[in-house]
């Protein structure tokens, strides 16, 4: 059970880092009709999303 909690904490920390860096979730840009910055586009292309780990 502790391993699962650690995983949730790590995912939460990663999400906070992404929001701190971009001010939003870049992978949601297409859904909201937002244009991605070059940095956001690179993040999206890398596909390293915390919720898919």
Residue 52's pLDDT band, with cuts at 50, 70 and 90, is confident
pLDDT for 3: 83
- What's the confidence (pLDDT) of residue 46? 95
Say which range, 4-8, 12-16, 34-38, 43-47, has the weakest mean pLDDT. 4-8
Backbone angles phi, psi at 45, to 5 degrees: -65, -35
Q: Which residues contact 34 (CB under 8 A, 6 or more apart)?
A: 24, 28
Question: What is the average pLDDT across 9-38?
Answer: 96
Q: Phi and psi (nearest 5°) for 22?
A: -110, -15
Residue 27 and residue 49 in contact, taking contact as beta carbons nearer than 8 Å: yes
């Amino acid at each position: 059970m502790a391993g699962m909690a650690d995983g949730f904490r790590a995912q939460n920390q990663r999400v906070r880092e992404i929001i701190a860096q971009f001010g939003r979730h870049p992978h949601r840009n297409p859904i909201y009709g937002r244009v991605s910055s070059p940095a956001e586009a690179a993040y999206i292309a890398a596909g390293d999303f915390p919720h898919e780990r």
